[in-house]
Structures are given as C-alpha cells and as structure tokens.
Amino acid sequence: MQSSSNSMGLDKTGLALVLISSVLLGIWATMNTIALRNVLLWIGTVAALMYWWNWFKTYKSNHTLPALSWLYWLAVSLITFMLIWVVIHYFFFAQNPQQQLSELKSTWLRSLLAVILGSATGLALNRNPRFMPWLWLGLLLSFVVLVYQYIPKAIAKQSLFAVDHFGDYIYWAKFNGVLAGTILIAGLLGLMIDSIWQNNAKDKIIQHNMKADQETSLHLNGATVKSNRINRIAIPIYVFIGVCIATYSFVFIFDAKAGVGMAFILIAFWLGVGLLFILKNAVSEPDRRRRRAFLMKSLFAFILVVAGLFWFTAQHIKNNPGWGSLFEDMAISTQIDTHDHWKGTGVALPLRKDGTPVAGNTYERVAFATLGARLISLNPLGNGSLRSFREDIKKIEPDYRNHPYTHSAWIDLGLSFGLPGLIFVPLALFSLLLCAVPNPRARFRAMIITTAFAVLILYLVGEYAFQHGVEILFYLSGFLCGLALLDCIKLRPLNV
C-alpha cells in the first residue's frame, strides 16, 4: 500500500478536487459565502471536466469501456432528466418567467456545476481511497468554529443550551446546521464502516499470505500492517470527534428535533449492522484468546456508543417533550380541513385527547406536507419557481399568511416542477442505494448507503428546496454517482 504522500503525488488533480469539495461542503450552508462558493464551483468544474476527460481517454487507450448496472444508468439518467426538465419547464410551462430565469442563471447553474464537481470527486476518491478523510474535514472544521461561537453564549446563559436560531452563529437558522451536521455524520459513519470492512478483508488476505509463505509475507506486508494499525486508531478517533460535535450541536446549539432524529436513525442503523458484524467475526475466529479479545473490545465500543447516543437523546427529550405524543400529533395535523392553524391567522393549535395542544413544529411539518401533496395533485406540472408554496396556496386560500415552504424539500420540488420534481432525484438516490446494498465488493458500499439514506430522509423532513439546499442535493447526487461508478463496473472491449 502506498503512503499518503505517494498517493497524492500520483493524482494531484484528484486531490485538488477533494480539497475543493471539502472547503465547499464546509461553507455551503454558512452565511455570507456565496462569492467564494461561486469561485470554487467554477474552478472545481473546470478541473472536474479535465479529470473526466483523462479518465475516458485512459479507458479508450486500453480499448475498454465500463458496462454498468441498469440501476446505475437509471440514477444518472434521472438526475440528467431533472436538470433538462428545469430548462424545458422555463420555455414551455413557466408561470413566473422572470423569477424562473433568475433561478436558472443562479441556483440551477450552480447545481449543474455541483453535479459535475461532485461526480468527479467521487471518481477521484474511487481511484484514491486514502483521500476520503480529507473530504469531511471542511465540514468538521465548520462545526469546530460553531462550538467556538457557542461556548461564550453557554457561559453567559449558565446553561448547556445556548439556542440562537437567527443570531450570529456560522449556521443561520437551525435547518442549515441540521443539513451540514447530517451530511457530516453520514459521511463519517460511512468512512468508518468502510474502513472496518476493508481492514477486515485485508487481514484475511495477510493471514492467508502468511500461512502460504510466512517469511516472504512478513517482509512484503510489514508496511501494510503498520499502515492498517494507524488507520484503525486515527479513523475511529476522527469519526468519534466529528459525530459527537455534530450531535452535540443538534441538542444544545440548534435544539433540532430533525437533527437528533437523523443522528439517532443513522447511528442506530450502523449499530445494528455492527453488532451482526461483531458476532459473525467472533464465530469465525478459531483462536479462543483472540476471539475473546475481539469480543471484549468490540462490545466495549458498542456499549460506549449506545450510552452516548441515549445520553444525547435524553438531553434533547428533556428540552423537547413533543416526542412522547409524536404519532398522535401527526394524526391530528393531517386534518387540514378540520383544523386551520396552518393559515397563520392566529387560530390556536389543535388539541390532543388530553386537552393539550399538539407540538407546533410537528403540526407545521405534517399539515404543510399534506397541503403540498394536495397542491401537486391540482398542478402536476408545477409552477417552475422555487419556494412557491405560498403563491400556490393563496390561489385556493387567499388568507394564508404562513411560510413559503412546506418543510419537505421533496414536496417543495414537486410544487415547483411537478411530478418530475417530486420523483426524479429521490428515485435516483434510491437506485444508487439499491446498487450498493447487494454488492459486498463495493469499495465505498457503506458511504453510498449512508449518504443516500440520509439525504432521502433529511430532504423529506427539511426545508431545503431552495438555493444552497438544491445545490448541495445535486452535488451529493453527482458524488454518489462518481463513487458508485467503479463499484458497478464490468469492463468490456471498446469497438474501434
């Protein structure tokens, strides 16, 4: 295995793409960074196009082309169709052409650049897996800055809770912090799980080699064993710090129910997979002493993570009692014809059976999602403008005075661009997820699964269908396509 310095020397363009993406991810959802984002996107896109061209030339010179899974092509096609549909919609179905043209030249142009940059970054990481930790460093550092801003506020309030949604934090409004934090947690968890799987596979190869020729294998594999030991220490520490900072921010800085829920779902999912992995490897280990040591270390780490997860969750529930009545609140909130608090005209929140009002944030999300779905059914082609919920609903309810979004990015995209906006990108992400799940040989299987899963859920419950939220969505979609490319490849001869 090559050292990091050697790897970097072999693919400087790939490393540049990863570092540009790292900086972009770190600043994308933060305040007052639009100029820097534009510069990085254009520079990154030029480098990305060159990278893709060189990759194609390499395969062409070897007289081979990749034969990809139909699920992979479905994902790529759907993302492409979505971008084409946005342009078609402007020329033939626009209801507010001036605003739609402005968004085409800003948000959607940046989204196109983001897809290109993201896909090339995924390809670069596929060819240089050791660059992966660098990708998430920008996001981690942004949360370090956030904690630096939080500490004086917490001291002044003499409380761990220092919520200031619209203050001077680097992330303005909690939904931006939840977006960045969820991506960070998903990326770091994917990094660690992939690292564990890869190290386990390498161990089996090394053990096999040592049995075949102990003296030769010790000489050849010494550097590999040392490198693996460093990775096994450094990556878990790196992941632990990042996940803890993001989860802590969800609880004590943003007080974000969606963020805590996302962190719980992602960590609990991989805890379940991890427990199965521990049991499987313990059973397959013939040496009793090594099996016992493996079980003790693994179960200690497992218990530590579970305890930390439940502590964070308990702290959040203390400050957010709405979790206990979540399902009852959701059922009541769907009754938009019976309860009209959603209009924003001062009508009180509906009451539960015990006479207490439903949780306001739960009511808004469910009621607006229900309204949005109804509006899409009335206008299946959409109106072409982002954040069009208020305009659409005023056509049937003139007294509406509430938010311009539904709290669900998928529904908001459906309102803007009809059924294609509602279906295309989620289905593309789901296709990539299905491409990775049954493929144990995929190099970044966990990364693809975790990121696609996180984005599908987060954009279902978050108000991200505008500006940087759309740009990040298309960056991650392109990134997963690039990351899954070599995992789905079967080389075939090129007809020349």
How does pLDDT run across 302-340, given as a tens digit for each residue?
Answer: 777 778 877 877 777 777 766 667 888 899 999 988 888
Q: Say if 347 falls within a structural domain.
A: no
Q: Is residue 182 part of a domain?
A: yes
Predicted confidence at residue 212, as pLDDT, reads 53
Does residue 411 form part of some domain?
A: yes
Q: Is residue 293 part of a domain?
A: yes
Residues 118, 43, 188, 159, CA torsion sign = negative
Phi-psi region of 359 (alpha: psi -120 to 50; beta: other; left: phi over 0): beta
Question: From CA 429, how far away is CA 472, in angstroms rounded?
Answer: 14
What does each of the 496 residues of the chain score in pLDDT, given as a tens digit?
Answer: 343 444 444 689 999 999 999 999 999 999 999 999 999 999 999 999 999 999 888 877 765 656 678 899 999 999 999 999 999 999 999 899 999 999 999 999 999 999 999 999 999 999 899 999 999 999 999 999 999 999 999 999 999 999 887 888 999 889 999 999 999 999 999 998 888 877 766 655 555 555 555 544 444 455 555 556 666 788 889 999 999 999 999 999 998 888 999 999 999 888 888 777 767 666 666 666 766 776 676 677 777 777 887 787 777 777 776 666 788 889 999 998 888 888 888 788 898 888 888 888 888 889 999 999 999 999 999 999 999 898 889 888 888 888 888 989 999 999 999 999 999 999 999 999 998 888 777 789 999 999 999 999 999 999 999 999 999 999 999 999 999 887 555 545 544 3
The pLDDT of residue 197 is 78
pLDDT for the residue 9: 47
Question: Domain span at residue 226?
Answer: 4-331+399-493
Q: Is residue 392 part of a domain?
A: no
| HEC sequence for the chain | CCCHHHHHHHCHHHHHHHHHHHHHHHHCCCCCCHHHHHHHHHHHHHHHHHHHHHHHHHHHHCCEEEECCHHHHHHHHHHHHHHHHHHHHHHHCCCCHHHHHHHHHHHHHHHHHHHHHHHHHHHHHHHCHHHHHHHCHHHHHHHHHHHHHHHHHHHHHCCCCCCCCCCCCCCCCHHHHHHHHHHHHHHHHHHHHHHHHHHHHHHHHHHHHHHHCHHHHHHHHHHHHHHHHHHHHHHHHHHHHHHHHHHHHHHHHCCCHHHHHHHHHHHHHHHHHHHHHHHHHHHHCCCHHHHHHHHHHHHHHHHHHHHHHHHHHHHHHHHCHHHHHHHHHHHHHCCCCCCCHHHCCCCCCCECCCCCECCHHHHHHHHHHHHHHHHHHHCCCCCCCCCCHHHHHHCCCCCCCCCCCCCCHHHHHHHHHHHHHHHHHHHHHHHHHHHHCCCCCCCCHHHHHHHHHHHHHHHHHCCCCCHHHHHHHHHHHHHHHHHHHHHHCEEEECCC
Residue 386 falls inside a structural domain: no
The gap from C-alpha 492 to its chain's centroid, in whole angstroms, comes to: 32
Please report whether residue 452 resides in a domain: yes
Specify if 213 maps to a domain.
yes
Return the bridge partners of 84, or none. Answer: none
How far are the Cα atoms of 141, 302, 303, 385 from residue 288, in angstroms, in the given order?
43, 21, 22, 64
Count of structural domains within the chain? 1
pLDDT value, residue 150: 95
